[in-house]
């Protein structure tokens, strides 16, 4: 009984062990390839398609080996044209049952068997993925949008060249400027040629570089991130693009033009003819070239918009007009009793003044500009004030021109250098706002002022019809120059003292018989008048608010006695 139990114990122990012959067989399956026609047979290396050898560049002819031929040593795999047919990868029958039994048997060997089984499966997986593409492009490789996976080098070359020819015939790029096509570039202009060999060589390296495990990992990566390349380096002559862009640039490039004062025309409502500014344009051809070269390399047809850089002018019309703004405007009414001769004298004086330009720092002199009031100078005889009396002389009415100009000059902020009032009140303006002028022989009274601004002063002077009364005329003066902004000037005057009129009249002999002839005749030609002391001020307003008040002049208008003319002849 004891022996039987012992035998049974030994038998139990034997059940937990693999016989040595079986263990050796399992070990043999791990370390050596199966031999014979059994399922799962892995042929020796000499019976498999060998990797391509050589430098890896298209156009060379390294020897290619097929089953039954001698193997090629080395690990470098290059892109070559096949001279013999290469079988496409095919789906093999799964050896699931045998694989399961092998795994089960190796697993039974314990930890060592587990790792042996894992190694076996890994090698089997690598072989199944890598071996079919020894002589074919790996899946996930694209050139010019063509999937080369599973193609032989010859097939890949033919497919890519066919695509190139197709694109070559259709390739065109339109150059668009301001919404219009101004040029077109096609492949014929470039003498187009593309060599895909280098690109295909690079594509071939994807999944064919390194040892089997590195190739396997590369193929797995291609499944996630496909490789994309283009025949990106044309052998065409891109000089045609450069020349065409240079021609277009010469046509588009335009220098900016500043706004300029073309003319000062006092007859215009706004007396300045100012040209508009013009923007310039400059086409930067470098980005355009880069885009065109890219389209050439990928044979991408389409349109390219040419957008030149805008060049701003230095002087704009709106800015320039700030130098030609209305600074002041003065108007005095011409009395309805004024004669044509007097009115013409005002017009004649304004003809000399109208259109006058006064440069910065220069002085305007009324007498120098208008000249002596003589018939030769275009003036007519008319009544004028001379030393407090109305007398007829050449140039009567010119003082209204000088008075209107004086008021405009003051309100324009110009510096008044010389000005004298009349000896009596005039009908066309208030006391303290007048300016008399005179030129007879050596006796002269002038009106002068200086351009104290930083820009030229322009004067427009004319006799105009009153807009509210067609029967009335006005003497008008407008002064233009640098914009005064929110600042305005006005003349204000006030009588500060009144001088009583003399009680006794003044008698004068009428030797010319102008008013009376005989001694018993007399005529009062002017009534007695009060005299006045008047102060005038330059008042400054900024944005409608008074900001300054400056005394200009203190004028004295003398009192006047009544003037009576008597005759000088006796009656017979």
**Per-residue pLDDT tens for 537-559?**
999 999 999 999 999 999 999 99
What local confidence, expressed as pLDDT, does residue 124 receive?
Answer: 87
Beta strand pairing call for 506-509 and 172-177: unpaired
Confidence of residue 41 (pLDDT cuts 50, 70, 90): very low
Q: Which is it for strands 261-264 and 272-274: parallel, antiparallel or unpaired?
A: antiparallel
What is the SS3 string spanning 339-406?
A: CHHHHHHHHHHHHHHCCEEECCCCEEEHHHHHCCCCHHHCCCEEEEEECCEEEEEECCCHHHHHHHHH
Q: What is the Cα Rg of the chain in Å?
A: 57
264 plus 312 within the same structural domain: yes
DSSP 94: P
- Say whether both 347 and 426 belong to one domain: yes
Q: Are residues 469 and 497 in the same domain?
A: no
User: How would residue 526 be classed by pLDDT, with cut points 50, 70 and 90?
Assistant: confident
What pLDDT is stored for residue 103 in this prediction?
57
First to last CA, the chain: 208
Q: What is the pLDDT of residues 302-319, one digit of tens each?
A: 999 999 999 999 999 999
Q: In angstroms, rounded to a whole number, what is the distance separating the alpha carbons of residues 158 and 163?
A: 9
pLDDT of residue 75: 42
Does 193 map to a domain? yes
Q: Please check whether residues 441 and 451 belong to one and the same domain.
A: yes
Residues 66 and 197 in one domain: no
C-alpha span between 434 and 330 (Å, rounded): 12
CB 121 within 8 A of CB 115: no
Tell me the average pLDDT across 15-20: 36
Convert the pLDDT of each residue in 386-410 to its tens digit. Answer: 545 555 667 889 999 999 999 999 9
Whether 505 maps to a domain, the answer reads: yes
> Has residue 539 been placed in a domain?
yes
Q: Does one domain contain both 292 and 225?
A: yes
> Which range (60-64, 329-333, 419-423) has the least confidence?
60-64
Task: Identify which of 25, 86, 23 has the alpha carbon closest to the alpha carbon of residue 51.
Answer: 86
84 has pLDDT over 70:
no
For residue 403, is it within any domain? yes
Using alpha carbons only, give the angle 511, 513, 516 rounded to the nearest 5 degrees.
Answer: 110
pLDDT of residue 447: 98
- Same domain for 228 and 125? no
**Looking at the structure, do residues 554 and 520 belong to the same domain, yes or no?**
yes
Q: Which two tokens stand for residue 500?
A: 């009583």
Q: What confidence score (pLDDT) does residue 429 get?
A: 97
* 8 within some domain: no
| 3-state SS assignment for residue 173 | strand
Q: Each residue of 352-383: pLDDT tens digit?
A: 999 999 999 999 999 999 999 999 999 998 76
On whether both 105 and 253 belong to a single domain, the answer is no
- Are residue 261 and residue 156 in the same domain, yes or no? yes
Same domain, 73 and 161: no
E strands of 165-276, at which residues? 172-177, 180-186, 227-229, 261-264, 272-274
**Which residue, 134, 159, 182, sits at the end of a domain?**
134
Reported as a pLDDT band with limits 50, 70 and 90, residue 22 is: very low
Q: Does residue 3 fall inside a structural domain?
A: no
pLDDT of residue 235 exceeding 60, the answer is: no
What number is the average pLDDT over the span 201-209? 95
Domain count, the chain: 4
CATH number assigned to the domain comprising residue 540: 2.20.230
Containing structural domain, residue 381: 327-485
Domain boundary among 485, 500, 527: 485
What rounded mean pLDDT belongs to the chain? 81
Do the domain assignments include residue 571?
A: yes
Mean pLDDT of 186-214: 85
Q: How do the residues of the chain divide into helix, strand and coil, expressed in percent and rounded to 5?
A: 30, 30, 40
pTM score, whole prediction: 0.61
Portion of the chain with pLDDT greater than 70, in percent: 76
The domain boundary residue, chosen from 306, 323, 340: 323
For residue 17, the model assigns a pLDDT of 37
Residue 9 lies in a domain: no
- The whole-number pLDDT of residue 237 equals 66
Together in a domain, 478 and 335: yes
């Amino acid at each position: 009984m004891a022996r039987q139990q012992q035998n049974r114990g030994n038998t139990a122990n034997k059940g937990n062990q693999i016989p040595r012959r079986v263990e050796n067989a399992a070990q043999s399956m791990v370390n050596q390839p199966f031999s014979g026609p059994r399922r799962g047979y892995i042929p020796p290396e000499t019976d498999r398609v060998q990797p391509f050898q050589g430098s890896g560049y298209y156009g060379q002819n390294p020897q290619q080996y097929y089953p039954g031929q001698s193997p090629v040593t080395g690990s470098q795999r290059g892109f070559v044209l096949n001279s013999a047919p290469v079988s496409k990868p095919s789906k093999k029958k799964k050896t699931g049952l045998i694989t399961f039994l092998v795994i089960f048997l190796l697993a039974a060997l314990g930890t060592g068997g587990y790792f042996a089984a894992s190694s076996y499966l890994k090698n089997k997986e690598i072989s199944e993925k890598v071996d079919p593409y020894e002589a074919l492009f790996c899946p996930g490789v694209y050139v010019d949008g063509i999937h080369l996976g599973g193609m032989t080098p010859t097939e890949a070359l033919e497919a890519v060249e066919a695509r190139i020819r197709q694109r070559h015939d259709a390739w065109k790029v339109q150059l668009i400027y301001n919404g219009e096509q101004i040029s077109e570039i096609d492949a014929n202009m470039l003498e187009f040629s593309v060599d895909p060999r280098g690109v295909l060589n690079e594509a071939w390296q994807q999944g064919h570089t390194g040892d089997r495990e590195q190739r396997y990992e590369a193929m797995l990566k291609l499944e996630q991130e496909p490789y994309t390349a283009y025949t990106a380096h044309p052998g065409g002559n891109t000089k045609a693009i450069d020349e065409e862009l240079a021609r277009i640039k010469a046509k588009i490039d335009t220098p900016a033009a500043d706004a300029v004062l073309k003319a000062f025309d006092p007859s215009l409502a706004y007396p300045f003819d100012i040209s508009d500014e013009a923007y310039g344009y400059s086409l930067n051809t470098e980005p355009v070239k880069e885009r065109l070269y890219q389209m050439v390399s990928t044979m991408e047809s389409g349109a390219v918009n040419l957008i030149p850089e805008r060049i701003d002018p230095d002087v704009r019309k709106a800015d320039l007009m700030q130098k030609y703004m209305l600074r002041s405007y003065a108007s005095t009414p011409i009395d309805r009793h004024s004669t044509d001769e007097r009115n013409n004298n005002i017009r004649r004086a304004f003809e000399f003044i109208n259109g006058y330009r006064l440069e910065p720092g220069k002085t305007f002199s009324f007498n120098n500009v208008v000249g002596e009031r003589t018939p030769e100078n275009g003036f007519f005889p008319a009544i004028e004030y001379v030393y407090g009396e109305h007398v007829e002389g050449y140039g009567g009415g010119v003082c209204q021109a000088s008075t209107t100009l004086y008021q405009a000059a003051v309100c324009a902020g110009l510096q008044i250098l010389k000005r004298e009032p009349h000896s009596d009140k005039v009908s066309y303006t208030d006391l303290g706002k007048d300016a008399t002028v005179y030129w007879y022989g050596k006796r002269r009274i002038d009106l002068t002022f200086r351009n104290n601004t930083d820009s030229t002063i322009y004067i427009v002077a004319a006799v105009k019809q009153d807009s509210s009364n067609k029967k009335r005329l006005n003497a008008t003066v407008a002064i233009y120059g640098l914009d005064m902004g929110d600042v305005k000037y006005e003349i204000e005057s006030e009588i500060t003292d009144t001088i009583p009129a003399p009680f006794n009249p003044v008698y004068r002999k009428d030797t010319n018989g102008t008013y009376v002839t005989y001694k018993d005749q007399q005529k009062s030609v002017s009534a007695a008048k009060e005299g006045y002391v008047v102060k005038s001020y330059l008042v400054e307003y900024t944005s409608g608010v008074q900001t300054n008040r400056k005394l200009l002049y203190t004028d004295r208008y003398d009192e006047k006695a009544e003037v009576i003319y008597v005759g000088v002849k006796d009656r017979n």
